[in-house]
Amino acid sequence: MNHIIQVEDIVKKYPKVEYNSLDKVSFVIEKGERVGIVGLNGAGKSTLLKIIMGILNPSEGTVKTFGKNPMHNRKQIAGKLGVVFGQRTQLQWDIPVIDSYELLGSIYGTANIDERINYFEKYFYLEKILNKPVRSLSLGQKMIAEFVGIMIHDPELIILDEPTIGLDLEIKKKMIDSIKNLDISKTIIFTSHILEDIYDVCDRVIIINKGKKVFDGSMREIDRSSTPAKVIVTIDNDELFLSSESYVVRHINYGIFEVEINQVTEISQFLQEVTRQNTILNLEIKTEKLERLIKSLQEQ
């Protein structure tokens, strides 16, 4: 078995908190799996990641990352990890991005930095940011620089904690596409409280609510009919031609359309169809609240 992560009955308790941050959570992640960990803010997602990385110890239960206790083997495990975690950065604030990459390459003993940078160039046009200090970059550019930075040493396990927060549509799409196209041997954990952010990347989803695991299964096992979407799209002309008759379209104003989509999973298909003939000027996606999905899962 190629267990990358084994979590067994882990509990994490904090004083003066009404429920455990994690409460008897168990699962196994195999090599090459792409797993979304979903939950509302405060559900325990970040705590779970910190335990997997060896930053925190569980109050109860056991965890193994690459077959080892992550707290006791942090140095060995760190060389196999690539992590985008919250607002933390491993890049140096006042030096050019390329210098940070060279520093990271030296730390990890990576010889082929140029090859790694060239691979991501096709997604992100890195030449625009490589020679700029991190402090001068926009939010989207910083996230791009951070993501490429964690990939410099070609990690086996990639942990992405809310990597799309605050990104505009174009950069978000580039980020998702680059993650989707990583080598199939890479194991990916992608956390979010927004389901549609992980639909394109992950084959499996684990839903955490108030520290408890309420769902663990394939994306297909979620009743997608219960997660319709409403998209408000602004394009560069006043006609929107769609081949599918399943979309319900309402013309709001010049270039602005409200489109009802049966399933969240059809959003990418819808956007591809729109961009074949139009430039998208603005996009707003409204889906069923995650709270409602969690409630329905707990009632099953």
pLDDT in tens, 146-165: 999 999 999 999 999 988 87
Lowest model confidence (mean pLDDT) among 5-9, 24-28, 84-88, 211-215: 84-88
The answer on pLDDT for 87 being more than 70 is: no
Residue 52 has phi, psi (to 5 degrees) of -60, -35
- Run of H or E residues at 184: none
Q: What is the pLDDT of residues 230-246, one digit of tens each?
A: 888 899 889 988 887 77
Residues 6 or more apart in contact with residue 235 via CB below 8 angstroms: 255, 257, 274, 278, 279, 280, 281
Domains in the chain with CATH codes: 3-221 (3.40.50.300), 224-299 (3.30.70)
Helix, strand, or coil (residue 84): strand
Which H helix or E strand runs over 53?
helix 45-53
Nearest residue to 228 (alpha-carbon basis) of 209, 250, 253, 246? 246
Other beta carbons within 10 Å of 178: 18
Contact in structure between 249 and 216 (CB atoms under 8 Å):
no
The pTM of this model reads: 0.79
DSSP 196-239: HHHHTT-SEEEEEETTEEEEEEEGGGS-GGG--EEEEEEESSS-
Retrieve residue 271's tokens: 């956007």
Cα(180)–Cα(121) distance, rounded to whole angstroms? 15
Q: What is the pLDDT of residue 225?
A: 42
Q: Which CA distances in Å does 56 have to 48, 72, 187?
A: 9, 11, 21
Question: Strand 187-192 to strand 157-161: parallel, antiparallel, or no bridges (unpaired)?
Answer: parallel
Per-residue CA distances from 36 to 90, 118, 218 (Å):
23, 28, 10
Q: What is the pLDDT of residue 242?
A: 85
The pLDDT value recorded for residue 273 is 85
